[in-house]
Each structure stands twice: as structure tokens, then as C-alpha cells.
Amino acid sequence: KKAVGAFSAAESFNYKKFFEMVGLKKKSPEDVKKVFHILDKDRSGFIEEEELKFVLKGFTPDGRDLSDKETKALLAAGDKDGDGKIGADEFATLVAES
């Protein structure tokens, strides 16, 4: 909740700080995968841009939606192969780099 609140202002989202605040970086690879599956709402095996917009809501229901700019920045940071979405391995790498 504290981590989500820290980014409640528009255009303030920083995935590196957020992952650090929620303790994601210290989690096991299995736990990181669990978070990936929570964010992958349509169970496609990928987190698409539309799902990234709701990343804060994945941690608490009253989290705000990310702006288009924040969503695109997060997608650009995580999408290593340029396919327009973030796979489980890409998500694990994104967390590890934070």
C-alpha cells in the first residue's frame, strides 16, 4: 500500500523504485512468477500494454491507473525482444534490473 501511495501523483511512477519498495527484487523466482501471473489478467502468458496500465491495481485495488506515457515507458523497459508485450522471462529480467 505504501509503495502504491508513493506513486499516487500522475506521471510519478518509477518501476525500479516501485519494485524495490514492494520487495519484489528480494523475492524468489517463483514469487516473481506469481506476480507476473497476477498482472497477466487475460492469462495469455504475456503482460500487454493494456494490462500494464493497471499494474498498481495488481498490488492494491485502490491503486491508480498508469498514464499512457508511464505505461509506454514501462513496456519499453520490459519488452526486450520488441514484440510489444512482456513475457515471464522479460518480467523477471525487469525485476532483476530494478
Residue 95 CB neighbour total at 10 angstroms:
22
Would the annotation count 51 as a binding residue?
A: yes
CA distance to 17, 23, 67, 90, 94, per residue, from 97 (Å): 11, 13, 22, 10, 5
Would the annotation count 20 as a binding residue?
A: no
Would the annotation count 46 as a binding residue?
A: yes
Would the annotation count 90 as a binding residue?
A: yes
Would the annotation count 70 as a binding residue?
A: no
Q: Which residues participate in the annotated binding site for Ca(2+)?
A: 40, 42, 44, 46, 51, 79, 81, 83, 85, 90
Q: Which residues participate in the annotated binding site?
A: 40, 42, 44, 46, 51, 79, 81, 83, 85, 90
